[in-house]
Amino acid sequence: MNKIELYDTTLRDGAQSEGISFSVEDKLRICEKLAELGMQFIEGGWPGANPKDMSFFAKAKALKLKNSKLVAFGSTRHALAKASADKVLKGLLDADTRYITIFGKSWDLHVKDVLKTTLEENLKMIEDSIKFLRSKGRTVFFDAEHFFDGYKENNSYALKTLKAASSAGAQRIVLCDTNGGTITSRIFEIIEEVRKEIQTPLGIHAHNDSGMAVANSIAAVQAGCIHVQGTINGYGERCGNANLVSIIANLKLKLNVDCISDLALRELTEVARFVADISNMKLPDNQPFVGNSAFAHKAGVHINAILKNPKTYEHTDPHLVGNHRRLLISELSGKSTILKKARDLDLDLGKNDEKSKKILRKLQALEHEGYHFEAAEASLELLIKRVMKKFKDFFDLEDFRVIIEKRKTGLMTSEATIKLKVGKELEHTASLGDGPVNALDSALRKALRKFYPNLSEMRLTDYKVRVLNEKAGTAAKVRVLIQSQDKTDSWWTIGVSENIIEASWQALVDSVEYKLLKDSKKQ
């Protein structure tokens, strides 16, 4: 158990996730990122079954993948056909990778009901296919599909399929819990039994249908598997594959098993977020190790304890996986959080209880109105600095007006006009936009541009609206969260009102003020 091989199948099994559709370009970018992390094997796709995957393998040749090896994936030959004439196997060879993984059936039910062939022929299909690919100079891994389910129902046949693969020269035999329904203790026992029969190094490929894929993969390693397959963030069909991000962190930090370097481990959070972004999936806040909330503390007593010793409420050091601790400001938390937050912002509240009490009272009042500063740390910073009079607004609004018009043709237009003052100078501008908030945003920037040219570096990247008291219907209060970004940072700001334009305006103003404040500190 000194060194474990990691095998990523985000680009093949992960791409089966509902809601994920990778372009060839997406796949190439993810592939490079996985290589940076030090993934030993990267399964690129199923050439032959999918023209996009063939084009990926052609283009991937130009990538610099350090020590990572690309793997092509496919099935065994068809029943009663010749391996040398089989289209799937030909597609695999055309992908031109040194490593090939083929999957074959190890559950007799599938042989009879799905392949509709004999148990004997299935063994030949496994053997022929591996021998054929090996005769072409390739290293072959064998994925024993549905192995655990097959073993539970007919262990002697399931073992025969492994023996066929082993004697044909497969370099790894990967035991798959394809339906994801096997319990952890059973995975462990079965692998121990298999090891008595099979000399070829074993791997595990677990699915998460029972919520146990990570635990099953770890148990497999403890039972003697040296090769672990999974996907970044656990993407995959149905409930997904085993999440390699959690597996890597657990192997490294809990079992002291070598799989990627300590330095690469610190990239884990970034890699998880990168792959989520490219996949157009939101990374769950509560994802272990790398989620935004994985080391976020909210309850006042927890925060109190964390400040004394982080070990009190953290199972590991967030920095080891490239994440960081967050202390959430909310009505649940007390003064110690405010003091810590102020320290983070280089503001010395010291033992000045009056000021921190004032901030706390203000926060509690705003939270009561529906503000939520956990998700809008930029607005929180501005709030604290405003209360402490450490910050002067960069502009003052005189007034704005937004006109929305719907024409008979169905065309909708939005126009915003804005009057504001920077110092003594009055600026008056108008702008069109895709919708009222966009019009207001562009009018605001247009008005400020000549005073603050650096605003051109900044753009809005996300806009979220949430209705707070749904029972009030269209008169309900809404909370608007806006994410903005420039070359180096991204930040969230908040606004709350019964009027969506007003709520958006508050968040827009904070986003611009935050950018200006941030840049003024650099000068």
Instruction: Give the binding site for Zn ion (CB under 5 A).
Output: 13
Q: 376-411: b or e for each residue (b if 16 or more CB lie within 10 Å)?
A: bbbbbbbbbbebbeebeebbeeeebebeeeeeeeee
Which residues, in sequence order, are CB contacts of 192 under 8 Å at separation 6+?
223, 224
143 near 102, Cβ under 8 Å? Answer: yes
> What is the rounded CA–CA span in Å between residue 451 and residue 422?
8
Closest distance between Zn ion and the C-beta of residue 152, in Å?
A: 18
Least gap, CB of 241 to Zn ion (angstroms): 6
The smaller minimum CB distance to Zn ion, of residues 176 and 448, is found at 176
* Secondary structure of 314-337 as H, E, C letters: CCCCHHHHCCCCEECCCCCCCHHH
- Residue closer to Zn ion by CB (options 213, 503) is 213
- What is the DSSP code string of 343-368? HHTT---TT-HHHHHHHHHHHHHHHH
Number of H helices, E strands in the chain: 18, 16
Q: How far is CA 41 from CA 38, 46, 309, 381, 419, in A?
A: 9, 15, 39, 44, 59
Cβ at position 122, least distance to Zn ion in Å: 19
Q: Least separation, in Å, of the C-beta of 174 and Zn ion? A: 10
Q: Are strands 99-105 and 490-497 parallel, antiparallel or unpaired?
A: unpaired
Minimum distance, C-beta of residue 9 to Zn ion, in the bound complex (Å) = 7
Nearer to Zn ion (CB atom), residue 179 or residue 304? 179
- Report in angstroms how near the CB of residue 108 gets to Zn ion at its nearest: 20
Closest residue to Zn ion using C-beta atoms? 13
**30/327 with CB nearer Zn ion:** 30
Residue 13 or 127 having the CB closest to Zn ion: 13
Tokens of 21: 């559709």
Q: Of 13 and 149, which has the nearer Cβ to Zn ion?
A: 13
Tell me which DSSP letter residue 78 carries. Answer: P
Instruction: Identify the sign of the CA torsion 36, 41, 43, 48.
Output: positive
Chain centre distance of CA 82: 42
Cα(341)–Cα(307) distance, integer angstroms: 11
- Using the minimum distance from each CB to Zn ion, give the nearer residue, 13 or 513: 13
Distance (Å, rounded) from C-alpha 254 to C-alpha 465?
Answer: 40
All residues at 6 or more sequence positions from 465 whose CB lies less than 8 Å from its CB, including other chains: 478, 479, 480, 500, 503
| Nearest distance from C-beta of residue 103 to Zn ion, angstroms | 8
Using the minimum distance from each CB to Zn ion, give the nearer residue, 146 or 341: 146
User: Cβ(71)–Cβ(37) under 8 Å?
Assistant: no
**Residue 114 beta carbon to Zn ion: minimum distance, rounded to whole angstroms:** 16
Tokens of residue 207, six digits: 């699915």
The least CB distance from residue 101 to Zn ion, in Å, is: 11
Q: Residue 144 CB, nearest distance to Zn ion (Å)?
A: 12
The 10 Å Cβ neighbour count of residue 211 is 10
Give the end-to-end CA distance of the chain in Å, rounded to a whole number: 53
DSSP secondary-structure letter at 427? E
Residue closer to Zn ion (CB basis): 202 or 382? 202
239 versus 476: smaller Cβ distance to Zn ion: 239
Which is closer to Zn ion, CB of 13 or CB of 374?
Answer: 13
What's the min distance (Å) between Cβ of 155 and Zn ion? 22
Cα–Cα distance, 466 to 479 (Å, whole number): 5
Q: Which residue has the tokens 């709520």?
A: 503
Query: What is the rounded CA–CA span in Å between residue 240 and residue 247?
Result: 14
* Comparison of 151 and 492: residue with beta carbon closer to Zn ion: 151
Shortest reach from residue 82's CB to Zn ion, in Å: 28
